[in-house]
Amino acid sequence: MAFKDIIEIAVQAGNGGDGSASLLRLKYIPKGGPDGGPGGHGGSVYLEAIDDVSSLSRLIYRRNYKARHGTPGMGRTRAGAHGEDLVIQVPIGTLATDLDTGEIIADMIELGQKEVVAKGGLGGRGNTSFATSTRKAPRFAEYGTKGESRRLRLELKLIADVGLVGYPNAGKSSLLAAVSNAKPQIASYPFTTLSPNLGIVELGHERLTMADIPGIIENAHKGKGLGLEFLRHISRNRLLLYVLDIAEEPKETFLSLQNELREYDSELLEHSAIIVLNKIDLASDTEVKTIAEELSHFALPVVSISAEEKQNLDSLVKMMFEMLPKKRSYKRTAKTAKSIKVRPLTVRRDKDDEVWLVSGDEVEAIVERFDAKSVEAVAYLQHFFRSMGLNKELKKAGAKDGDEVYVGEAVFEYFDTDKNREIPKIS
């Protein structure tokens, strides 16, 4: 299975079930009144963080995810069943972004964390909810609302305690294999590691996770090589190990690595770090000492090792546990404020000057929840029309009794309620 750390999926929450407009009919109770129950809520779509770095790759075989719809309400005030929620498991460290708005929906930085990424629709109220002293047997109910739909970009920012940073062939995979339980692919040519490898390092009763980040090359932050694809993973590591090949100009290499990190995200240079001078078995003791002294000028601890020959690894492991920040310093990516543009109530004449067109998020949402062909439902809606000032706006715009008024797909016939008290007609 190919490793993937960025994928795009579509999620669809379930619709809410419609309310029931049932009227009680029993042998000895011919006029039992309204007994319609509410519809069930639609299922929501959740992300759940699990400890499996490969779990994002499994999602490439399915790109559309739908939760269950709520079922309609029933007579005898029985409520419809709620739609079952859908839970999508993703690796800890996954960032979910709405592709259409750019809004950050969820940042999964804690094991077991669950976040809703698409909310289920609400169930509609049954006709029992609309019974009053003057409306004893309403024959209308409320429709359920639609569930949210989103296109998401899922981006994995690997969470590990320690991250190995270095150029290809610096010996990062060999180091990971030597100090942990990981078994990465190891070879003597560049670009061996094509995906991050994770291992567990133990010291007594303590343990930490170590990640081998694929090799960075010069100008990786500009998109060259494989480094750009995995630089994002370094940001979630608590401790960085700069792994340098003693035979490949380690001082210049360290400066170049820091420059790549700085260009990608300058905050990476503030992480706790250790310089690891690797492959010392290929140099003399004098050369190792001289190079280590040069590197010590960067004000970071320097440990000289040979991952291949397992030299001085105990000292490195001990230092890693000593320097590891005691508290997890993962920084949750701040959720961007969603730019919500609420369309206000507007009234205008159509281009042929024949009908009135009413628009606005609030009025359209209310009308969508009722059957506009029901006289009783329209009478109920008139209350909202008056409260939000729609009747006044139509009158002010010049509407006359009998004019057709469109609200979304619904068509009403205008009556001046200041002069007419009867139930409005429906066209």
Element (H, E) at 303: strand 302-304
Q: Strand (E) positions, 124-184?
A: 149-156, 162-165
Structure tokens at 79: 């409520």
pLDDT of residue 190: 44
Alpha helices (H) along 167-309: 172-179, 227-234, 250-264, 285-295
**Buried residues in 137-158 as b, exposed as e (16+ CB within 10 A):** ebbbbbbbbbbbebebebbbbb
pLDDT of residue 288: 96
pLDDT of residue 197: 78
Sheet holding 45-50, edge to edge: 86-91, 45-50, 114-118
Q: What are the pLDDT tens digits along the chain (427 aa)?
A: 556 778 999 999 999 999 999 998 776 666 678 999 999 999 999 999 998 877 677 888 899 999 999 999 999 999 999 999 999 999 888 999 999 999 999 999 888 999 999 999 999 999 999 999 888 889 999 999 999 999 999 998 877 889 999 888 899 989 999 998 766 554 444 444 456 778 889 999 898 989 887 756 554 444 444 445 567 778 888 899 999 999 999 999 999 999 988 888 888 899 999 999 999 999 999 999 999 999 999 999 999 999 999 999 999 999 999 999 875 555 666 666 565 678 999 999 988 878 999 999 999 999 999 998 899 999 899 888 988 999 999 999 999 988 999 998 899 988 886 665 444 444 4
pLDDT of residue 59: 85
pLDDT of residue 229: 58
Q: Which residues pair with 97 in a beta bridge?
A: 104, 153
Mind listing the domains of the chain with CATH numbers?
A: 6-156 (2.70.210.12), 162-323 (3.40.50.300), 346-413 (3.30.300.350)
**Got the DSSP string for 334-347?**
PPPPP---PPPPEE
Question: What is the pTM assigned to this prediction?
Answer: 0.78
pLDDT of residue 221: 42
CA 219, 223, 229, 231 dihedral sign is positive
**Residue 259 DSSP one-character state:** H
Structure tokens at 145: 């609302």
Residue 354: other Cβ atoms inside 10 A: 9
Residues 230, 236 contacting (CB under 8 angstroms) = no
CA 178, 180, 183, 185 dihedral sign is negative
Residue corresponding to tokens 């490969």: 54
pLDDT of residue 404: 93
pLDDT of residue 220: 41
